[in-house]
Amino acid sequence: MLKHSLVGYDGSETSQRAFLLAVALARACGGRVRVVSVLQVSEGGADACALLMTDASAERLEELRRELAALAPDAMDRVDVEVLHGSPGDVLLGQVQQHGIDHIVIGHTERGALARWLLGSVSGDVLARAHVPVTVVR
């Protein structure tokens, strides 16, 4: 039974659908949903990045809570929300052990071959390395 689903959330339409699916599963199974938004560090010195990440995290967390509450206002008692930093695939997979996740729900946005090569695919990375069931929402 799916008791604790993880949703990788970036605000896209597919991540919104992934969140709503996870909420529906949590309701049906009496479970919880953990929503994680990953801020990826790209450039700059360590001190500058740390300062920017702290400011961006707090702001993003409040924004994320408001956005999710608008999508599923009656489900927020089942939802835990966190903003983390790092590589999205690594961060999401790290949550599985840390929080007893038994299911990952993630959105997939189609990119061209060049964009996939340059940026990678979070859903592909998670699918390739996860040790729990993964549902990819399109």
Give the model confidence (pLDDT) of 13-61 as tens digits.
999 999 999 999 999 999 999 999 998 765 555 544 554 555 678 888 9
The reported pLDDT for the residue numbered 41 is: 64
Q: What CATH topology corresponds to 4-137?
A: Rossmann fold (3.40.50)
- Domain layout of the chain by residue ranges: 4-137
pLDDT at 54: 59
124: DSSP letter: H
Residue 72's pLDDT is 98
Query: Quick check: 138 pLDDT over 70?
Result: yes
* pTM of this prediction exceeds 0.75: yes
pLDDT value of residue 48: 46
Q: pLDDT tens-digit profile of 79-129?
A: 999 999 888 999 999 999 999 999 999 998 765 444 444 445 788 889 889
**Residue 98 and residue 34: Cα distance in Å, rounded?**
12
Question: With the CA atoms of 95, 126, 68 and 110 taken in that order, what torsion angle do they form, in degrees rounded to the nearest 10?
Answer: 170
d(Cα 111, Cα 123) in Å, to the nearest integer? 12
133 CB contacts (<8 Å, ≥6 apart)?
A: 2, 102, 103, 104
Contact at 8 Å (CB) between 78 and 23? yes
Name the strands in the sheet holding 4-8, side by side, starting at the edge strand that comes first in the sequence. Answer: 79-85, 32-39, 4-8, 103-107, 134-137
pLDDT at residue 69, as a whole number: 98
pLDDT of residue 58: 84
